[in-house]
Chain A
Amino acid sequence: MKIRLNIGGVSPPLQSEEIKTGDWGTQYPVVDKEKCTACRICQQYCPDLCIEVKEFGEEKYAVVDYNYCKGCGICSSVCPSEAITMEIKEIFKV
């Protein structure tokens, strides 16, 4: 079957959501729900809109979108509560 090619790479919005880029990085952030104060600093600094403070009933804390997070570690370095740690992905461990 022939593939369908939008002329000039013209595309409706949000098509890129299908292209998961979360496997690019070597590290990934892990949020400690207890330490997180939901201050949203990480949310403002994330260059890829991959961390967002969400509400879960009474609780509020940062949640990472691992589908697109590239593991740059900015959220971890800006967090004033040291609630985000960077872990090395299993496949990159020596």
Chain B
Amino acid sequence: MKKVVRGFYSVAYAVKLCKPQVICAYPITPQTEIVENLASMHANGELEGCEYITAESEFGAASILVGASAAGARVFTATCSQGLILMSEVLFNAAGMRLPIVLVNTNRSLSAPLSIWNDHQDSMALRDAGIIQLYVENNQEVHDAIPQAYKIAENRKVLLPFMICMDGYKLTHAYEPIDLLEQELVDNFLPPYKPIAYLTTKNPMAFGCYAPPHIYMEFRVAMQEAMDRARKIMLDVFKEWGEITGRDWGGHISVDFPDSKVMVLAMGSVVGLVRKVVHDLKKEGLDVGFVKVRTFRPFPIEDLRNAIKDCDKVVVLDRSVSFGYEGPLSIETKSILYKYSSADVYPFVIGLGGRDIPKDFVEKLIRDVIEGRERPQFAFKGYREFEEVVP
């Protein structure tokens, strides 16, 4: 059933179809309307068998979900920015306890200075938490990603938290015609969650126990192995989804014009714009292709390497920065090319804190790279010259 809805609703409706048992969140712009939608569904009796808990903070919300997930419930939350980093202490624990919590992060920049607009700095701060990260391009993709996220996270060979990253405002507030999923399709695709161990008074268990030096490292190796298994399991789930819905979002990456001499990499909502620019330039006869990176953790090492290793130039458009180095996507891209490719990497950081990314700007940037007017050197693009002064 196609309906014109906002990004919030496309998330909330898909979550409802997955029949979560506990939803707990704390409001934060630009996420709030996701859980508002869920709260009203709950109030209207549409979320049968679901507990909706309002928490006093994101730290509280994440903690409640750790308890609920450890008790064997399918859980959901949504947050972003300061809320996500307030959750971070708990989320690192959730990953270590191997709890398949699914959360939607509506990507927003981090303070200070205070900004409520969109970039990827918040989710990148949780890069090393042991959480699967999927970046979506539009509201249909996020709608489709939710049942898949549960299926992947709850797979007994994975059991890791799953964070779907959708750009704040650009997606959350946008109206799009969404092909809303049918309950029957989701029921057939996603079996009920069967935890391997859970909290019960009949058989008491402690989660995330103390691990002295002689045993701690093994647990962390086990998390890495779970991530490696997830890389394969995700591809199976993506494929199955494509077959049953007819919407194939690609694998960990999706490539337009493979084997081009210049490849452009991007993640999130900017993908639509960059793809359009690349298609236009291709029509002009320029040898340029495009890679949409969907999965950031586990990083699609081989898929991405094979897509770009034989080209001459790789343009990486990051929406966040690791201060003192470069953007996270360009760091990973360079690292997987080591010893496999002599391609020049052009690491650019664009659109921080909601800075507009116009079509002409992206087109000029890519054209400048192709025509040799840019150097393969880290640079912020699209900011104004400034000097720091004391007020």
Residues 211-253 of chain B: 1 if any A CB is under 8 Å from the residue's CB, otherwise 0? 1100100110010000000000000000000000000000000
**Cβ–Cβ contact B159 & A10, under 8 A:** no
**Cβ–Cβ contact B197 & A10, under 8 A:** yes
**Cβ–Cβ contact A8 & B211, under 8 A:** no
Segment with Cβ contacts to B, from A13-21, A33-41, A44-52, A75-83: A13-21
For residue B99, CB closer than 8 A to chain A, the reply is: yes
Residues 284-311 of chain B: 1 if any A CB is under 8 Å from the residue's CB, otherwise 0? 0000000000000000000000000000
Closest partner residue, chain B, to A3 (CB atom):
B218
For residue B204, CB closer than 8 A to chain A, the reply is: yes
A3 to B216, CA, bound (A): 12
A13 to B200, CA, bound (A): 12
Known contacts A5-B219, A15-B209, A16-B209; decide if A10 and B97 are in contact (CB<8 Å). yes
For residue B205, CB closer than 8 A to chain A, the reply is: yes
Q: How many residues of B contact A (CB 8 A)?
A: 21
Chain B binding surface SS class: loop
Min Cβ gap A40→B in Å is 27
A43 to B215, CA, bound (A): 32
For residue B208, CB closer than 8 A to chain A, the reply is: yes
Cβ < 8 Å to B, chain A residues 1-32: 3, 5-13, 15-16, 19
**Cβ–Cβ contact A10 & B205, under 8 A:** yes
Closest partner residue, chain A, to B210 (CB atom):
A16
A19 to B209, CA, bound (A): 12
Taking CB atoms, residues of chain B closer than 8 Å to A13 are 204-206
For residue B196, CB closer than 8 A to chain A, the reply is: yes
Taking CB atoms, residues of chain B closer than 8 Å to A5 are 215, 218-219, 222
Min Cβ gap B311→A in Å is 41
A9 to B207, CA, bound (A): 6
Q: Which of B196, B206, B210 contacts A7 (CB 8 A)?
A: B196
